Chain A
Amino acid sequence: MSMNLRNVLLFAAMGALLVAVGVIQSANVALAILNLCLISAIMTLGVNIQWGYAGLFNAGVMGFAALGGLAAVVVSFPAVPQAWAVGGPRAMLGLATGVCAIALAIVAWKRMPGSRRLRGWAAAGVALAGIAVMRLVIDPAVEAIEAVEPAKTGFLGGLGLPIVLSWVVGGALAALAAWAIGKIALGLRSDYLAIATLGISEIIIYFLKNEEWMARGVKNVNGLPRPVPYEIDLQQTLWVQDLAARLDFNVIELSSIIVKLCYAGLFVVALAVIFWLSERALKSPWGRMMRAIRDNETAASAMGKDVTWRHLQVFVLGSAVIGLAGAMLTTLDGIFTPTSYQPLRFTFLIWVMVIVGGSGNNLGSILGGFVIWFFWIEAEPIGLTLIEFLTSGMAQDSALRLHLIENAAHTRLATMGVVLLLVLRFSPRGLIPEREK
């Protein structure tokens, strides 16, 4: 079977699964899964750029996705004038002080004369002093801002721009963070890089959870403006009511389907653009060189390639794509909840998608994103049905049966693990393997 036919069949099977859910459960459920499949596919493309192209193990996916979410809040939410009035400029000044402190610490580390140890202490001293100054500047502002209607706002709000703009901003924010992280962490060995990025992403989440003046922290930001119509408005329009009558559909359900289709349309465009760009990059001389570096770093470095610089490029690009997907996710949710960023869901699950789809193959990443997200959601009903079937012989109120049914949802975690291990063992190159050069 030719490679292309195989791929078409794989995607067709995936589509059939979604249609099956549409028929068995409901069109709404199928579309909800589809939308998250699309976002997962973009995130997976981002990780694939780092791992598949260059062999970098980034375990900080969660952090970059959260930065994208932050961008969605900052771009779209209307500003809170009162909060700006009581502390806005001062908070900004505080942030600027922090940035200056870090910059000065770096200058001290790089430019000061003296031994490594001396410069290290000097840099640490500058950084600590800088943080102290920053706290002096920012703390009163933070207190004032967080006191402004804490139940409703208590933060600076955003710029009040269209939320779709945040996709680009989220990508840029993630890229900026990736640049800083890459600068310091990319020299590390593969498993240390994984641990370091995991640690840094946790720090980012802690920051987002606790700095309430920025995006309300654990209090979440609700009601982000949408790029698509609201169900309630659609239900009022004549054409929707008309269509519902003609299709013999419930108006409420139909409006919800239309909204989801609108999102899906936006996401498909984004996915298509990113896929096209990724493919172009992979096939370009740049992509070939990346893979050459991945396959033999020593040889590439001996041939005069600046491996660290190339790795930084690829790390920044991949993280930007993850940030973009993160902004899309928050756009879809309409709510920013820092506590929802869990490594299992946002880092390791994306990794399962990359590996299962096929490291190094962009089409594979898309398929991996679809398949894994689909089963992540559907493992629960499937597991439940399976358990109900298996325990149907037991008494209806058997404690074991009830326990199993109650905890059926957790089988999806184990399922993901089993799928990952099976693919690694029996098809280590994934569903759609990397094309040979």
Chain B
Amino acid sequence: MTAVTDILNALALLSNFVLVPGLAYGSQLALGALGVTMVYAVLRFSNFAHGETMSFGAMITILVTWWLQGKGVNFGPLPTALLALPIGIIGTVLMCLLFDRFIYRYYRRQKAAPVTYLIVSVGILFILSGVVRFVIGPQDRMFADGERFILKARAFKEMTGLDQGLAIKTSQGVTVVTAVIIVALLFWFLNRTRTGKSMRAYSDNEDLALLSGISPARVVAITWIITGALAAVAGTLYGLDKGYKPFTYLGLVLPIFASAIVGGVGNPLGAIAGGFVIALSELLLTFAYKRVIAYLTPGDWVPDGLVQLLATDYKLAVSFVILVIVLLVKPTGMFSGKTL
């Protein structure tokens, strides 16, 4: 074995267990965090119901997917859920607009304190989690179909001649590609279109936006449309990748808040950076480096322990710790700012 193959093996190992899953999970968190950040930047509150909104979007997508599958429709090697996703997005957007019209709008007119909105969002969290469990049940749901892998571990080994395999699941590839498309669209909208700019203006300076004739009702409606769409996409991608289980989405709220806050809440770029920081830290801190070290050290020496900084059980706790540290040390996050 030459030194070069050893290094390549180590890289393949890291890619397989850290980089690839990290990119997929990071994209899911980033999309979730973008939703939280949009609501924060325009409506100025922390939306505790965002995880359940994602769950709701995923649920509708799953129901439509089943219906399509029942009709014998499929999307070739890609998951059928992608065909159902537009309906999931529409459903989630309608739900968000409905809740805004009948619940949030009242508090906006009252000029309620942010903490009141927070409590209201807890109420919506309860309603959504009840509705989701009532409609689809609390069980695990697998709805991914099509080709399971883009790249299989064995194919990679044959291709490269390395000992170490590298597998890329279709759901991971789909996640990253979809996230890139959605983020590109969002940034184009915010920075290039008149409506997008008016949202940024409103988020920057509400009073001046009013003086410029920007309609708050319109900005709020568009914010919910974008938030609902982002939530449906993020929820579906997460479900495709890890299996859908209503229960897990409440647990996602904290990593999502962590991503948004680490990046700088209210800042879309920050939300994306934060998503990847959280995802990669979770994986890097709980990865067992034993075999990587074995590849990188000369000879047949293998470390005794797993060489793991934290037990895998603590994976999710990593994001909570990062969240708490950021809140305490630099609450404004990496990219300061409360505006879009």
Name A residues whose Cβ lies closer than 8 Å to a Cβ of B. Answer: 55, 57, 120, 184-185, 188-192, 194-196, 198-200, 202-203, 206-207, 209-210, 342-344, 348, 351-352, 355, 403, 406-408, 410-418, 420-421, 424-425
Contacts and interface: CB of A to CB of B under 8 A. Distances in A.
B258 A199 contact: yes
B119 A190 contact: no
B118 A421 contact: no
B134 A202 contact: no
Interface string B107-118: 000000111101
B126 A414 contact: yes
B305 to A, nearest CB: 10
Interface stretch (B146-154, B166-174, B230-238, B311-319): B311-319
A209 B119 contact: no
Given A348-B126, A412-B130, A343 B311 contact: no
Interface in B94-137: 103, 106, 113-116, 118-120, 122-131, 133-135, 137
A37 to B, nearest CB: 19
Contact of B46 (A194, A202, A420, A425): A194
B253 to A, nearest CB: 8
B118 A344 contact: no
Interface string B236-265: 000000000000001000100110010000
Given A200-B324, A210-B314, A425-B106, A195 B257 contact: yes
A206 B321 CA distance: 11
Contacts of A425: 103, 106
Given A194-B118, A344-B129, A421 B124 contact: yes
B119 A199 contact: no
Contacts of B320: 199-200, 202-203, 206
26 contacts: A184-B328, A185-B324, A190-B114, A191-B114, A196-B323, A196-B327, A199-B257, A199-B320, A200-B320, A202-B254, A203-B321, A206-B316, A344-B129, A348-B125, A351-B119, A403-B137, A407-B137, A413-B126, A415-B130, A417-B125, A417-B126, A417-B127, A418-B123, A420-B122, A421-B124, A424-B119
A407 B122 contact: no
Of the candidates B115, B127, B129, B134, the one having the most CB atoms from chain A within 10 angstroms of its own CB is B134
Contacts of A413: 126-127, 129-130, 133
B311 A210 contact: yes
A272 B123 CA distance: 30
A33 B131 CA distance: 25
B7 to A, nearest CB: 28
B261 A344 contact: no
Interface residues of B, number: 45
Contacts of A414: 126-127, 129-131, 134
Contact of A188 (B106, B129, B131, B327): B327
A203 B316 CA distance: 9
A134 B321 CA distance: 18
Contacts, number: 135
A414 to B, nearest CB: 3
Contact of A348 (B106, B122, B128, B324): B122
Contacts of B134: 407-408, 410-411, 414
Nearest to B124: A417
B137 A406 contact: yes
Given A191-B46, A199-B320, A415-B130, 6 more contacts: A55-B115, A185-B328, A206-B320, A344-B129, A352-B126, A417-B125
Contact of B324 (A57, A194, A196, A410): A196
B41 to A, nearest CB: 14
Contacts of A190: 113-115, 118
Given A191-B118, A421-B103, A424-B120, A410 B138 contact: yes
Interface string B200-218: 0000000000000000000
Contacts of A410: 130, 133-134, 138
Contacts of A352: 122-123, 126
Interface in B26-47: 45-46
A192 B137 contact: no
B123 A420 contact: yes
Contact of B327 (A120, A195, A407): A195
A417 B103 contact: no
A365 B117 CA distance: 21
B337 interface: no
Contacts of B138: 410
B331 interface: yes
Q: Which 7 pairs between the two chains have the least Cβ-Cβ distance?
A: A414-B130, A417-B126, A413-B130, A417-B127, A410-B133, A420-B123, A199-B320
B133 A185 contact: no
A54 B244 CA distance: 40
B329 interface: yes
A185 B311 CA distance: 26
Nearest to B261: A195
Given A196-B324, A206-B317, A420-B123, A188 B254 contact: no
